[in-house]
Structure 1
C-alpha cells in the first residue's frame, strides 16, 4: 500500500499527523535532500512539501518531475503562500491538456 508524507518546518506540518499522514519535520537542507530520496524509494506515492522547503530543494525535486511516483505537491507553510504550489499545478495541467485553462480572455 502506498503512503503519503508531509515535509517541511514543524509548525507548518504538525497538523497533518491528525489526518493520518506521515510528517517529517525538516530543519536543514542536507537532511531534506536525504529524506526526499529515502521517501521516494520507500513506497510514498505522494509527498506534500512546504513551498519554503521546496525552494531550497528545487534541484532534487526536478529528478522526480518525469516519474509516476512520488508526486511532489507544494503546499503553503505557516509563513504564507508564495504562489509556487499554484504555479506547479498550473504547469502540470498545461502539460496534460496542452493549454492554459486559467487564461482569461477579456
Structure 2
C-alpha cells in the first residue's frame, strides 16, 4: 500500500473515531492487529462492543466506501470481532458490526451494517 493511501486511511479513521466520540462512545482500539488481520475501530457505548470497518475514498470514481466492504471482508471482520472479544476476557454483551464511509470530510456510519 502506498504512503498516500495509508495517510488517506488514517485520516478517515480519525474522522470516524471523532464521530463516535462526539456521540458518547468510548474508543477502545484503533487499528487493532492480530495474526488473523486488523480491525479499524473498536468502540463501546457501554452496552455494545462495536467493530467498525472504515473505508475512505478521495473520489467516488470506483464507488462508495460502503461498496468496498465485500461479503468476504464482512466475514473476516466478524471472525476478528469474535477473536477480539475472546482475547479481552470475553464480552458478555452484544457485538455490533458497523460500516463507515468517508469522502472528503463527510462521514456516514451504518450501525449494524453486517
Structure 1 length-normalised TM: 0.38
Structure 2 length-normalised TM: 0.36
> Between Structure 1 and Structure 2, which shows a larger proportion of helix residues?
1
